Structure 1
Amino acid sequence: MSIVPHLENLSFYSNEKAQKIRYTNLASRFYEDFPSTEIEFFARSPGRVNIIGDHIDYNFFPVFPMAIEVDVVVAVSTNDSNEIVITNTKSDEFPRETIQLPSSDNEVTMNPNHGWANYFRCALIVAHKFLLDTQTKISLKGMKMCFDGTVPTGGGLSSSAAFCVASTLAILYASGITQLSKSDLTRITVVSEHYIGLNNGGMDQCASVNGMPGHAMAIHFKPELKALPCKFPVKSLTFLITNSLQVSNKHDTAPIHYNLRVVEMAIASDILAKKLDVDAAKDSNLGTSSLRSVMEAYCGKWDGDDIDVGISNIQQMIDAVEALQREGYTTDEVCRELSITQEELNLRYFTKFPVKFDKLKLYQRSKHVYHESLRVLLSLKLLQDRPTLESQFLMQFGQLMNDSQEDLDKLNESSNAKLNEICSIALQNGSFGSRVTGAGWGGSIVHLTTIDKVPTLTQVLTDLYYKREFPAINELELKEAIIDSQPAMGSCIVSTKILQ
Structure 2
Amino acid sequence: MHEIVPLLASLDQVYAPPAQERERQAQFCCAHIDVVGYSVIPAAIDKDILMATVFVHDPSASSLHFTLENVSRDFAPASFACNIHDPQSVKLANEGDTRWANYFKVALQGLQPHLPAEAIACGRGYVYVLVDGSVPPASSLSSSAAMTICSSIVILTALGARDQISRKKMTEIAIESERLVGVNSGGMDQAVSVYGVPNHAVYVSFVPSLETRSVPLPFNEDDSFVFVVSNTLVESDKKVMGPVQYNLRVVETRMAARILEMALGLNADQAHFPRAYQHTLYAVADAYFQRPGAWEAALKDSNVRDTRTKHGEKAAQLQWMLRIVDTHIPHHAMVRKEVEEATGLQGAAFDREFLESFPIRADQFHLHSLFTQVP
Question: CA 1:284/1:208 → structure 2, altered by over 3 Å: closer, same or farther?
Answer: same
Instruction: Indicate the residue corresponding to 2:77 in structure 1.
Output: 96
Residue 293 of structure 1 deviates from its aligned partner by 0.4
1:55 corresponding residue in structure 2: 32
Share of identical aligned residues, percent?
A: 27
> 2-side partners of 1:349 and 1:333: how far apart?
14
Residue identity in the other structure for 1:274: M
Alignment of 1:418-437 (within 5 A): none
1:85 aligns with 2:67: yes
Q: Who is 1:30 aligned against?
A: 11
2:173 corresponds to 1:192: no
Number of the residue aligned with 2:109? 125
Q: CA deviation at 1:48?
A: 0.7
Q: CA deviation at 1:333?
A: 1.4
Contact 1:286–1:352 (Cα < 8 Å) also in 2: no
Structure 1 residues 432-489: Cα deviation after superposition (integer angstroms, max 9, x where no partner): xxxxxxxxxxxxxxxxxxxxxxxxxxxxxxxxxxxxxxxxxxxxxxxxxxxxxxxxxx
Deviates more, 1:256-265 or 1:111-120: 111-120
3-state SS in 2 of match to 1:243: coil
Quick one: structure 1 residues 69 and 351, their matched pair in 2 at CA, closer, same or farther if it must change by over 3 Å? same
Match of 1:157 among 138, 141, 147: 141
Instruction: Say yes or no: does 1:300 pair with 2:290.
Output: yes
CA apart distance, 1:288: 6.4
Tell me the CA shift for residue 325 of structure 1. 1.0
8 Å CA contact retained: 1:59, 1:284? no
Question: Which structure carries more relative contact order (alpha carbon 8 Å, separation 6+)?
Answer: 1
Do the aligned residues in 2 keep the contact of 1:218 with 1:230 (CA within 8 Å)? yes
Question: Is 1:346 paired with 2:326?
Answer: no
CA distance in structure 2 between the partners assigned to 1:86 and 1:333 by the alignment:
48
Match of 1:239 in 2: 227
Instruction: Indicate yes or no: 2:267 matched with 1:267.
Output: no
- Among candidates 97, 103, 118, match of residue 137 of structure 1: 118
Between the aligned partners of 1:285 and 1:100, the Cα distance in structure 2 is 32
8 Å contact kept, 1:270–1:289: yes
Instruction: Decide whether the 8 Å contact of 2:188 with 2:204 is kept in 1.
Output: yes
Structure 2 vs 1, CA of residues 251 and 284 (structure 1 numbering), >3 Å: closer, same or farther?
farther
Contact preservation (8 Å) 2:87, 2:112: no
CA 1:285–1:224: 2 relative to 1, 3 Å = closer
Q: State the AA in 2 paired with 1:48.
A: F
Q: Give me the whole-angstrom Cα distance separating, in 2, the residues matched to 1:74 and 1:106.
A: 22
Aligned-residue offset at 1:137: 2.8
For residues 275 and 242 of structure 2, the distance between their equivalents in structure 1, rounded to whole angstroms, comes to 15
Cα offset, 1:347, TM superposition: 2.1
Letter in 2 for 1:341: Q
1:356 and 2:357 equivalent? no
Structure 1 segments unaligned to the other structure (5+ residues): 1-17, 302-306, 369-406, 413-500
Q: How many correspondences in the alignment?
A: 338
- Find the aligned partners of 1:63 and 1:339 in 2 and give their Cα distance: 31
| Distance in structure 2 (CA, Å) of the matches to 1:309 and 1:181 | 33
Q: Distance in 1 between matches of 2:264 and 2:226?
A: 43
**Distance change >3 Å, CA 286–CA 256, structure 1 → 2:** farther
Asked if 1:204 corresponds to 2:189, the answer is yes
Runs of 4+ in 1 over 4 A off after TM superposition: 282-288
Work out the CA distance in 2 between the residues paired with 1:326 and 1:113: 38
C-alpha distance in 1 between matches for 2:195 and 2:233: 27
RMSD: 2.1
Q: What is the letter of the counterpart of residue 117 of structure 1?
A: A
- Does residue 1:311 correspond to 2:315, yes or no? yes
Matched AA of 2:135:
V
Residue identity opposite 1:118 in structure 2: N
Equivalent residue for 1:255, pick from 243, 253, 264: 243
Residue aligned with 1:190, SS: helix
Q: CA deviation at 1:337?
A: 1.9
The answer to whether the Cα contact below 8 Å between 2:260 and 2:329 also exists between their aligned partners in 1 is yes
Does the Cα contact within 8 Å between 2:209 and 2:274 map onto a contact in 1?
no
CA deviation vs aligned residue, 1:270-323 (integer Å, no higher than 9, x gap):
01111111111276988861000000100139xxxxx72211221221111011
2:84–2:112: 8 Å Cα contact kept in structure 1?
no
CA distance in 1, matches of 2:145, 2:343: 35
Q: Does 1:276 align with 2:281?
A: no
Between 159-168 and 81-90, report the one with greater CA deviation. Answer: 81-90
Find the counterpart in structure 2 of residue 291 from structure 1. 281
Alpha-carbon separation, structure 2, partners of 1:360 and 1:333: 10
TM-score, normalised by the number of residues in structure 1: 0.64
1:240: Cα distance to partner? 2.8
Letter in 2 for 1:189: A
With structure 2 as the length reference, what TM-score do the two structures score? 0.85
Distance 2:27 2:69 in 1: 20
- SS for the counterpart of 1:38 is coil
Q: Distance in 1 between matches of 2:358 and 2:169?
A: 26
